[in-house]
Amino acid sequence: MADLKSVLFGVLLMFCSCEAYKILAIFPVPSTSHGILGDNMIKHLLNAGHEVTYITPFIKTKKYNHPNLKIVDVSANEEYFDESLTDIKMIMSGALDYKDPVLMAQLTIMLATTTLGNPNVHSFLKDPNQQFDVIIGEYMFSDMYSVFQAVFQCPFIWFSTIQPHWGILKMVHAPLNPSYNSDYIIGNVAPFTFKERVQELWYQLKGLFYHKYINPEQEDKVYQEHVVPILRAQGKPVPNYEELKYNASLVLGNSQVVFGNAVPLPPNYQHIGGFHIDEDVKPLPEDLKKLMDNAKNGVIYFSLGSNIRSKDLPDSMKEGLLEIFGKLKQTVIWKFEENLDKTPKNVHIVQWAPQQSLLGKLKCNDNYINGLYIYRYTAKIKEISVAYHHSPMKPGEALNFWVEHVVRTRGAPHLRSVALQVPLYQQAYLDLLAVILAAVAVILLVVKRILSLFTSESPKLKRN
Ligand SMILES: *[C@@H]1O[C@H](CO)[C@@H](O)[C@H](O)[C@H]1NC(C)=O
């Protein structure tokens, strides 16, 4: 009897804690660093036993193999996102200005249009057998992936790749206060000077203006063209684009307080930063390991990341960097996309570095003033590391917890922010300011009137 009870209990427990959900993950940005985030997101979801459908452009370069994983191929996005968009020469010359909200909006709307117009996405959306418990969509400055909700009629979660940004927060709560929250793209460090504070306000107002008055028209057009006909054909209701845009249940942020600013965030914003870091660091490939072991004076790793390519640097700058690197006693590993001839002995070119393994092994040793700086950085990094690791849940666990929370609570309506229903002018009390100004104006008018009565009568008195 006792045995049966414990078996039943065990079975019950299994049902409670391992409920498998159907999850749609939309990660259409054809850039390696975004792909790493998407891949690790689905890895955690699959490990938790869920079924995942993954919209990804990386089908040609990566092998996706899991019985619970289905792929929707948007590799055509790679053609759209060609190298000219991340050419460092163009960025340095100002020809490409990513601080410009017009450029940013154009790029992201174009990418969303390409994704929604993709024949594979079309046939996926049209397939009546597709059903999901929840959708996770990468934000990347585009609100458009919210339209998937209309087709699958289920809760929607945004995934934001950067520190908390007003662009995503305005969709689930309200924009961040620009007087002490830097726009990631501008990169000021709070507390700001007067000039910086005004600059932050100006950028945010400009961005909000585009978001409210310029972009929606184009976005709605794409929605009408690519999604609405499918809804009609399936006999589903056709919600307004605006309604979909502000209907997300949660934001999962690739952020952690310890790496950013300790600012108040709404409860529907949850940090999961670090979820993409492997728990067990893979050993370095043999060639790199040998290089690192033989570097008596330490190693310097130089990389511009995955979006910006070293090969696009102006030639003079490449030569200048090589010259400086050549004079160092350290071994320099440079992530460079093609082979360089005439590299100094201590400089080694790698096309792609297993960064996590590499960084884990990097040691800096230097003398005098540089050494002091490095000790300061090392101490700071250790402090951050303690705070990062001392948390109630690992980032990957937090990811699964919040996704499951949204499904179980049918869209987490208890986390919805009432601020969404309060227009910004009311949040800033601009209406009160208007009432006060109007009252002051009326009082001034009345006073002026009364004074003019006196002053217009006094001359008469004099004349008499
Ligand atoms: C809005 O969100 C709720 C809860 O997450 C979801 O059930 C509903 O389908 C969404 N509404 C629309 C119009 O997509």
Number of domains, the chain? 3
**Do 304 and 250 lie in a common domain?**
no
Q: Is residue 14 part of a domain?
A: no
Q: Is residue 184 part of a domain?
A: yes
Q: Is residue 440 part of a domain?
A: yes
**Do 156 and 246 lie in a common domain?**
yes
Ligand 1 nearest-atom number relative to CA 239? 13
Ligand 1 nearest-atom number relative to CA 153? 9
Rounded to two decimals, what is the model's pTM? 0.84
**Do 333 and 267 lie in a common domain?**
no
Q: Which of 21, 135, 143, 149 is the best mutation target for the ligand 1 pocket, counting ligand atoms within 8 Å of the beta carbon and taking the most?
A: 149
| Cα 108 to Cα 213: distance, rounded to the nearest angstrom | 16
| Cα 61 to Cα 40: distance, rounded to the nearest angstrom | 16
Specify the DSSP class assigned to residue 156: E
pLDDT at 197: 96
Q: What is the mean pLDDT of each run of 10 residues along the chain (464 residues)?
A: 58 59 96 93 97 95 92 90 69 73 81 95 96 96 94 98 93 95 85 95 92 91 96 97 96 94 94 91 83 83 77 84 87 82 84 75 57 74 92 96 98 97 95 98 96 73 50
**Protein residue with its CA nearest to atom 1 in ligand 1:** 247
Q: Which residues of 43-79 are buried (b: 16+ CB within 10 A; e: fewer)?
A: bbbbebebbbbbbbbbbeeeeeeeebbebbbbebbee
**Do 109 and 58 lie in a common domain?**
yes
Measure 428 CA to ligand 1 centroid, in angstroms: 29
Is the sign of the CA dihedral 97, 98, 101, 102 positive or negative? positive
Measure 27 CA to ligand 1 centroid, in angstroms: 20
Are 182 and 280 in contact by the 8 Å Cβ rule? The answer is no
Give the chain's radius of gyration (CA, Å): 28
Report which residue type is found at 234: Q
Q: Is residue 179 part of a domain?
A: yes
**Do 227 and 301 lie in a common domain?**
no
Single out the residue of 72, 71, 49 nearest to residue 133, CA to CA. Answer: 49
Measure 57 CA to ligand 1 centroid, in angstroms: 27
Q: Which of 134, 151, 153 is the best mutation target for the ligand 1 pocket, counting ligand atoms within 8 Å of the beta carbon and taking the most?
A: 153
Contacts of 79 (CB under 8 A, 6+ apart): none
**Cis amide bond preceding 191, omega within 30:** yes
Measure 138 CA to ligand 1 centroid, in angstroms: 18
* CATH number where 327 lies: 3.40.50.2000
Measure 231 CA to ligand 1 centroid, in angstroms: 15
Ligand 1 nearest-atom number relative to CA 412? 5
Q: Which residues line ligand 1 (CB under 6 A)?
A: 149-150, 153-155, 239, 243-244, 247, 249, 411
pLDDT at 289: 85
pLDDT at 1: 47
Are 72 and 124 in contact by the 8 Å Cβ rule? The answer is yes
Q: Which residues span the domain enclosing 375?
A: 286-383
Q: Between β-strands 269-271 and 331-335, what pairing exists: parallel, antiparallel or unpaired?
A: unpaired
Q: Is residue 115 part of a domain?
A: yes
| Cα 129 to Cα 127: distance, rounded to the nearest angstrom | 5
